[in-house]
Amino acid sequence: MGTAKEDEERAAALQAIADAGRVLSTAAVLFHTNLSSSVGLGPTDGKVLELIRRYTNISAKELAERTGLAKNSISAVLARLEKKGFVERLPDPDDGRRHLLVSTTEGARRIGALFVGLTSRLDELRERYTTEQLRVIADYQLRAAEIQHSEAAKLGKHASA
């Protein structure tokens, strides 16, 4: 425990982090909603596509587990992504009964082009921080994302129950 002033400053800093997290979360949801919409996808479709790109050669079952979405919801999302040319299913070389999901080169190009403005502006923002500060920011973001992912999975289980 610190002094009353230190406690007050910490409480203010924690509140600032909470407020900034909500602002960033809303901005991210709105950006990704508009990005997905601009290529004819819904927001869930766009985030599932991002997971497919991140976890190359993932199965539909693994994707359902990672998202917490029901299998029929994942199937509907995958059907839309395939129809619009963002994803294809390839036979699993180790198990002929299942398929692996991969993003298409053309789909990745279409989505990537929409990130140019955001990434260049974020590159400019990151120039304001030292390498050590960037490490702390990255650590916090990853840990916060792990917590949020875990809580999302819990909510997904409750929703499907």
- For the stretch 20-43, pLDDT in tens is 999 999 999 999 999 999 999 998
What is 41-128's CATH number?
1.10.10.10
pTM over 0.95: no
Question: Quick one: pLDDT at residue 70?
Answer: 85
Q: What residue segments make up the domains of the chain, in order of their start?
A: 41-128
Long-range Cβ pairs for the range 48-56 (8 Å, 24+)? 48/74, 48/77, 48/78, 48/81, 49/81, 49/86, 49/87, 49/103, 49/107, 49/111, 52/81, 52/87, 52/101, 52/102, 52/103, 53/103, 53/108, 56/102
Q: pLDDT of 81-129, one tens digit each?
A: 999 999 999 998 888 888 999 999 999 999 999 999 999 999 999 999 9
